[in-house]
């Protein structure tokens, strides 16, 4: 009888990662595994176990799949490295999160302008994978710890997103309806993908709620919403392709980052609304304020943007807003079928006008 580790490697044709992780990477994976254990203990007993492995692939991607009746989540080694390099770079800058002591930091001199390239995955992947980041990391202890904390949170968010695909029945539903045995997270372009975008939206909702509520003390929930908001917004950007034509919003496997951000905010709002309407508003506004301010500095600089691209702009466009509602309403069409495959409760139907 094969172990799940062997099955993971078999499914990947021997391409599971066998190398050594450094201390930072081990910390990230440790946080993901601990969060998973805690989540399982607190979830309905029906929630399935998954095997978490690392794929020996240097692109920025994650997968969820089912093989010989076992569930697997694979994170590419490229993704782990890129997230690590990215947060080290971010906290080594003295113009981001200025309230955390920046006296020891000097802005790293990375002379790359990526604005000419077509694809965010290639560009950011190339930059944070191939550029020598060995010496690019924050110098102060506090900023070092923040880089680790945010990086681990970003990867946990993505892990819970994958787990959402499994536990909300997306994977089994897709296997039954179109023989799709695997979910990929890098955005791909093809025709008419509303159902796929809707499943991604639902997986994001699951990840957002799980990562916020993993913190036990409600006093820290608002900070946790901020961290997760910050980490997830960067993940959305890193996973996204550049979309310049607003008439093509339906033609991608994943919603554009601006819409994923809106979904995230909706989840934050709904989460805190259970306790009070006022605190829900306060926290949602704070997340928008901090996350967008800080992440704009970095992305506009790294991507060499002179003005905000459509992928960065947040919900100010009527077409983007309309598309957000179309995705939310697609849920009503697939919700009942999905519930047959889900391992726990899923969202009820709701009409978005």
Sign of the alpha-carbon dihedral angle for 224, 227, 233, 236: negative
One residue of 39, 152, 203, 226 binding Zn ion per CB under 5 A: 203
Contact region for Zn ion (CB under 5 A) — 48-56, 133-141, 203-211, 326-334? 203-211
Should residue 263 be labelled a site residue for Zn ion when binding is judged by CB under 5 A? no
3-class state of residue 70 by DSSP = strand
Among 110, 130, 151, CA closest to 59: 130
Rounded least distance, CB 165 to Zn ion, Å:
6
* Closest CB to Zn ion among residues 57, 200: 200
Contact region for Zn ion (CB under 5 A) — 95-103, 130-138, 199-207, 265-273? 199-207
3-class state of residue 207 by DSSP = helix
Contact region for Zn ion (CB under 5 A) — 11-19, 79-87, 195-203, 327-335? 195-203
Rounded least distance, CB 75 to Zn ion, Å:
13
Q: How far apart are CA 224 and CA 100, in angstroms?
A: 17
* Closest CB to Zn ion among residues 203, 312: 203
Torsion of the alpha carbons at 58, 294, 114 and 23, rounded to the nearest 10: -30
Exposure string of 160-174, with b = 16+ CB inside 10 Å and e = fewer, is: bbbbbbbbbbbbbbb
* Closest CB to Zn ion among residues 84, 161: 161
Rounded least distance, CB 124 to Zn ion, Å:
18
* Closest CB to Zn ion among residues 203, 256: 203
If phi > 0 it is left, if psi is from -120 to 50 it is alpha, else beta; for residue 143 that is alpha
How many residues make contact with Zn ion (CB under 5 A)? 2
* Closest CB to Zn ion among residues 188, 315: 188
* Closest CB to Zn ion among residues 53, 138: 53
Burial of 278 (0-12, 13-18, 19+ CB in 10 A): exposed
Rounded least distance, CB 57 to Zn ion, Å:
17
Rounded least distance, CB 254 to Zn ion, Å:
7
- Sites for Zn ion among residues 285-304 (CB under 5 A): none
Rounded least distance, CB 122 to Zn ion, Å:
19
* Closest CB to Zn ion among residues 204, 294: 204
3-class state of residue 244 by DSSP = coil
Residue spans of alpha helices (H) in the chain? 4-11, 23-42, 77-92, 120-130, 141-167, 170-178, 194-213, 221-239, 257-273, 277-302, 318-339
Rounded least distance, CB 171 to Zn ion, Å:
10
Contact residues toward Zn ion (CB under 5 A) are 200, 203
């Amino acid at each position: 009888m094969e172990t799940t580790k062997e099955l993971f490697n078999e499914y990947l044709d021997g391409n599971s990662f066998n190398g050594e992780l450094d201390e930072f990477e081990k910390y990230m994976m440790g946080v993901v595994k601990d969060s998973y254990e805690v989540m399982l203990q607190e979830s309905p007993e029906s929630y399935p176990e998954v095997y978490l492995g690392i794929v020996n692939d240097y692109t920025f991607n994650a997968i969820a799949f089912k093989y010989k009746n076992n569930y697997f989540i694979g994170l590419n080694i490229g993704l782990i490295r890129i997230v690590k390099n990215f947060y080290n770079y971010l906290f080594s800058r003295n113009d981001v999160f200025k309230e955390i002591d920046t006296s020891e930091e000097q802005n790293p001199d990375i002379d790359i302008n990526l604005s000419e390239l077509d694809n965010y995955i290639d560009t950011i992947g190339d930059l944070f994978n191939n550029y020598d980041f060995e010496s690019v990391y924050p110098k102060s202890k506090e900023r070092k710890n923040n880089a680790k904390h945010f990086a681990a949170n970003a990867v946990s968010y993505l892990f819970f997103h994958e787990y959402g695909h499994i536990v909300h029945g997306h994977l089994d539903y897709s296997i039954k309806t179109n023989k799709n045995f695997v979910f990929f997270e890098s955005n791909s372009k093809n025709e008419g993908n509303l159902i796929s975008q809707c499943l991604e939206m639902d997986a994001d909702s699951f990840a957002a709620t799980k990562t916020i509520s993993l913190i036990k003390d409600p006093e820290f929930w608002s900070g946790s919403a901020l961290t997760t908001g910050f980490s997830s917004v960067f993940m959305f950007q890193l996973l996204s392709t550049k979309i310049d034509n607003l008439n093509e919003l339906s033609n991608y496997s994943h919603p554009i980052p601006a819409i994923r951000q809106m979904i995230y905010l909706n989840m934050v709002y709904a989460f805190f609304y259970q306790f009070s309407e006022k605190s829900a508003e306060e926290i949602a506004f704070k997340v928008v304020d901090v996350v967008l301010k800080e992440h704009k500095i970095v992305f506009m600089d790294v991507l060499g943007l002179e003005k905000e691209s459509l992928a960065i702009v947040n919900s100010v466009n009527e077409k983007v807003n309309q598309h957000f509602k179309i995705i939310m309403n697609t849920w009503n069409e697939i919700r009942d079928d999905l519930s047959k495959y889900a391992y726990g409760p899923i969202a009820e139907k709701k009409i978005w006008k």
